[in-house]
Structure 1
Amino acid sequence: MNLFIDIETIPAQRPDVMEEIKANIKPPATFKKPESIAEWMRTEGPGAVEEAYRKTGLDGAYGQICVVGLAVNDFDPVAICELDWEDPGAERRILETLGCQLTDLIAPNGTFTTCVIGHNVSAFDLRFLLQRSIVNGIRPHATLARAAQAKPWEGDKVFDTMVQWTGSASVRISLDKLCKALSIPTPKDGITGAMVWDAVRDGRIDEVAAYCLKDVTATREAYKRMTFQMAQAA
């Protein structure tokens, strides 16, 4: 069985993390004069804090999952999310729902015959899911744990479309570029990953969920092209 998965994440929602970021923002070392330092902190400091804060959305230690998209084989993808993302328990409920759905979808012995498929799934999605499961004290489903521990080239456990295309976990290709190369409709025609936090903060979690599902669908089509299960688009 093939399990296609994608996650969307947001920056840390803990006030102490923001305070730590603010405390550690400093001007470049070339700024020596107190008045120059003060001016930099006034004009450039807020932007530096915001930039550092947004980066926590890519860090499983502090960032949080806001949407999980998944699809089994050729079935329609589904999104797991919480409308009230500001609720401290929202991420925990997402992870619990994900575990329940996977338990329903995958038989106990099916863990060993299920391949988890995604774009940059080895280095990001699976690792982030595992880290946030640990933070929330939730044991991840055995299929996800098995795939997270697999090497990116162990194709019976995990198929990372980025790694399989580039041939290296250290070389990147965006899903957008891969889709364009394979004549697959790009999922990046509205919201992009860089816009997820703004959309969530504005209360447009439904748009983020829809974007996540498009990523799942595009990844599935890319996988089929890369494994010669789908003909080239005319």
Structure 2
Amino acid sequence: MIKKLTLENILFLDIETVPEQPIFSGLSETKQHLWEQKSQYQRGEISAEEFYERAGIWAEFGKIICISVGYFTFHGNVRQFRVTSFFGDEVKILKDFKNLLTSHFNQIKHLLCAHNGKEFDFPYIARRMIINNIELPEKLNLFGKKPWEVPHLDTLELWKFGDYKNYTSLKLLTNVLGIPSPKDDIDGSQVYKVYYQENGLERIITYCEKDTIAVAQVFLRLRGESILDETEIIHA
């Protein structure tokens, strides 16, 4: 089935998120209390304030700072993978991403693909759009859709082959499949520090784009095709 999909119809993506405020005390008292409640089972003996740097993984307490996307183009025998990023102000990021979907990936044949996207990237983007009063584009509006009507692909799900107990990180998957690692500078656990303490958005954008490329590479391997080389990757 996966080999029947047309690569040009797939938009590969990855997102990077951080807590909505640089520090816990930047939250309102109400939001601080809500965070204490929300995180109580995950943080164990760690205080809510100390645990706050991990708040970016929850859409209710975090925000998106970068969405990187990539798509294939073919000109005769020449294959290219074009990558670009939306970054900076979250509302602008979300509106620009929505405009891409509605303008170029709005048909039934079009699909979105991410690693662990069904559990994280896709719902996170949708929730942040609703929080920011942005109407959901059709590709993210899943209300009333049957499972087979959802236009999302997930390389984690594809790798599970029906095994619901298994979680495989993108870093591990690229390693076992012989794909260059996207985690050669920072990883997800360092994004908070790089963004808020080091003002390193450019590093985060590069990291996000590498993850997007890695998702496409994994998808190619799952199809039994050769992975991209550097000459085929175009940063727009």
Fold in common (TM above 0.5): yes
Q: Secondary structure at the match of 2:119?
A: helix
| Residue identity (%) | 25
2:81 matched to 1:75? yes
Of 159-168 and 119-128, the range deviating more from structure 2: 159-168
Partner Cα distance (2:168, 2:84) in 1: 25
Residue 214 of structure 1 is matched in structure 2 by 210
Partner Cα distance (2:125, 2:223) in 1: 26
2:51 matched to 1:52? yes
Residue 119 of structure 2 is matched in structure 1 by 123
Q: Relative to 1, partners in 2 of residues 1:181 and 1:232: Cα closer, same or farther, differing over 3 Å?
A: farther
Indicate conservation of the 8 Å contact 2:17/2:64, yes or no.
Answer: yes
Partner Cα distance (1:7, 1:226) in 2: 22
Q: Relative to 1, partners in 2 of residues 1:176 and 1:148: Cα closer, same or farther, differing over 3 Å?
A: farther
Residue 171 of structure 1 is matched in structure 2 by 166
Residue 200 of structure 1 is matched in structure 2 by 195
Residue 42 of structure 1 is matched in structure 2 by none
Partner Cα distance (1:193, 1:232) in 2: 24
Residue 148 (structure 1) shift? 11
Residue 184 of structure 1 is matched in structure 2 by 179
Instruction: State TM-score, norm by structure 1.
Output: 0.76
Partner Cα distance (1:96, 1:67) in 2: 12
Q: Secondary structure at the match of 1:121?
A: coil
- Give the counterpart of 1:2 among 7, 10, 19: 10
Task: Name the aligned partner's letter for residue 27 of structure 2.
Answer: P
Q: Relative to 1, partners in 2 of residues 1:155 and 1:140: Cα closer, same or farther, differing over 3 Å?
A: closer
Partner Cα distance (2:16, 2:83) in 1: 15
More strand by share: 2
Instruction: State TM-score, norm by structure 2.
Output: 0.75
Task: Name the aligned partner's letter for residue 82 of structure 2.
Answer: D
Indicate conservation of the 8 Å contact 1:116/1:159, yes or no.
Answer: yes
Q: Secondary structure at the match of 1:191?
A: coil
- Give the counterpart of 2:130 among 119, 125, 134: 134
Indicate conservation of the 8 Å contact 2:13/2:70, yes or no.
Answer: yes
Partner Cα distance (2:144, 2:59) in 1: 14
Indicate conservation of the 8 Å contact 1:115/1:157, yes or no.
Answer: yes
**How many correspondences in the alignment?**
203
2:27 matched to 1:19? no
2:157 matched to 1:159? no
Partner Cα distance (1:169, 1:140) in 2: 29
Task: Name the aligned partner's letter for residue 19 of structure 2.
Answer: P
Gaps of 5+ in 1: 28-44, 83-89
